[in-house]
Structure 1
Amino acid sequence: MQLNRPFATVTPTLDGDVLAVLATSDVTFTITQVQRILTTASGEGIRKVLTRLTAQGVVLHDQVGRTNTYQLNTEHLAAEPIIALSRITATFLNRLERHLEGWGDALKYAAVFGSAATGRMTLDSDIDLLLVRASDPEDRNDNADPDTWDQRVTELGRLVTAWTGNDGRVVEYTQDEIRAAASAGEPLLNDVAREGLTVAGTRAWLNTQLRPIGKTQRNRNA
């Protein structure tokens, strides 16, 4: 699936993209406003979709002067699943957060990065996940031995695929390793710091670990 095009999981047509726009807000939209968001769709195509959805009752149509406006009918029986589908990225991130809560102190940080985080997914895109594991043995409980950790990572990849249909690609670091990689200016960590979506730990903690990236860049610019 494409997290950035949630309705494509049930319909490949423009109808889904238009519904995704209408479901993002309680305000009304004109055809021009919808087209500004759906940059590859024609105004005529959007008009036909809105006319069809209005006939189904799921979209409310009004006319202010010569301007036609459209709004999702939130009282429609289909509104609840439409809104739920439009929020599929948030649902995915929430599921990840809840699942990773059970990993305990052994997991210091986790984030989704790459196309799933930036809204540029295609059907063939992997879902990239960064996991940072504690280096200090005191932060590891009995359930976080190497075998248990590996089993959890394998299960995480399976769940991501089950939830989305996309391959889950997990990149692992220990806390010591991520500091060393940051000192070396690892580009992947720059991407995570700039665009990653945190699902375990805090961004402040990650920034503390990645401070050497900034120092390296300043030294190069000096």
Structure 2
Amino acid sequence: MQLNRPFATVTPTLDGDVLAVLASAEVTFTISQVQRILATGSGEGIRKVLTRLVAQGVVRRDQVGRTNTYRLNTEHLAVEPIMALAQLNSTFLKRLEKHLDGWHKTLRYAAVFGSAATGRMKLDSDIDLFLVRAADAGNDGDDAWEERVTELARLVTAWTGNDGRVVEYAEDELRAAAAAGEPLLRDVAKQGLTVAGTRSWFNAQLRPAARRS
């Protein structure tokens, strides 16, 4: 699936993309505004989609002067599944957070990075996960950690259909990579979506290296 195009999981047509725009905010949209947001689809194609959705009652059309405006009908029976689809990205992140919360003190930090974080996913994109294993992981051995990482990748694939690709560091490895100027760490700091730990902690691990450079 594409987290940036959640309706494509059930329909590959322009209808899903238009619904995603209308579900993104409780405001009205003109055809031109929808077209600018999507950056795909012709104005005529979007108009035809909106006409179909109005006929179904899912979308309400109002007229302001000579301009038609459109908004999602929040009283429609279908609005709950529509909103659930529109929010798949946040649902995925929340599910990740809940799962990783069960790792307790073994996990210092985790983030989603790459195309899943930047909104540029393609259908066959991997979902990239960045993990930092805590130095004070207690009695959790390497085997237990590896089992958790393997299960995490499996769950990501089960939830989305995309391969889960995990990049992991121990705390001391993270500091060494930061000192060496590892580009991946800058990408995570700039674009990553934190799902465990705090962004402030992660950024603090990079600052000494930044000062030296």
**What is the CA-CA distance between 1:38 and the residue it aligns to?**
1.0
CA RMSD of aligned residues (A): 0.8
Q: How many residues align?
A: 213
Q: Distance in 2 between matches of 1:129 and 1:75?
A: 38
Equivalent-residue separation in structure 1 for 2:97 and 2:64 (angstroms): 44
Answer yes or no: is 1:12 the counterpart of 2:9: no
Could you tell me how far apart the structure 2 residues matched to 1:52 and 1:72 are?
13
Name the amino acid aligned to 1:94. Answer: K
Asked if 1:205 corresponds to 2:201, the answer is yes
Output the TM-score relative to the length of structure 2: 0.98
- The answer for the alignment partner of 1:75 in structure 2 is 75
What is the CA-CA distance between 1:14 and the residue it aligns to?
0.1
The share of aligned pairs that are identical, in percent, is: 76
Structure 2 match to 1:133: 133
Residue 213 (structure 1) shift = 4.0
1:85 aligned partner: 85
User: Deviation at 1:86?
Assistant: 0.5
Cα distance between partner residues in 2 of 1:190 and 1:212? 13
Q: How far apart, in 1, do the equivalents of 2:208 and 2:86 lie?
A: 38
TM-score, normalised relative to structure 1: 0.94
1:69-218 residue pairs with structure 2 within 5 A? 69-135=69-135, 139-142=136-139, 144-216=140-212
State the Cα distance separating 1:215 from its structure 2 match.
2.4
Q: Which moved more, 1:95-104 or 1:206-215?
A: 206-215
Letter in 2 for 1:15: D
Gaps in structure 2 of 5+ consecutive residues: none
Contact 1:110 1:199 in 2 (8 A): yes
Query: How far 1:212 moved relative to its partner?
Result: 3.4
Contact kept in structure 2, 1:2 and 1:122, CA below 8 Å: yes
3-state SS of 1:210 partner: helix
